Structure 1
């Protein structure tokens, strides 16, 4: 059995997160699931997150003995699978988010300010 990894330092850059997840997969996960399997796993994790948010912040209530779980843990589950998909498809998330924010800024720099539905 493999020994546990050293504690992971925080905070991590996105590149460090991708490298850490890759090491974890190769050490404990044996290999990445296929992209299609990881997409299904991502949908499962998003569903768990949605259930928690709808019951914690929405009108839904928890059933029976089901109690709130850790929102941070559910978000981390979603992020973990997203990082797995990025790793196995060769996407550098730091580069991708930077480009995405530039796109959003160019496209939406006035859009939300001018939206009357967002006015206080």
Structure 2
């Protein structure tokens, strides 16, 4: 039952991540081609709730997607199973979430 839920959650997060990654890459290309400096980029993101929400969704999806994939890889390539694996990958998910939210705060608040 857990495996099926994780499978669905990873697929749903992948469907969410795909367009978010494309927009993010497009923004990078726009900034680089436009010759924007870091200061100019931060000037556009400070206090912008839209970008805070966009990247918040990005961070949430990535912090769900990556640890599930890591858990699957560890289960396939090692003998690691059980609660300790679930706790370790759950901790990794929380770490990704915390670091991502901290980064969003730094560039939007």
TM-score using structure 1 length: 0.33
Which one has the bigger helix percentage? 2
Larger radius of gyration: 1
TM-score using structure 2 length: 0.35
Greater RCO (CA < 8 Å, at least 6 residues apart): 2
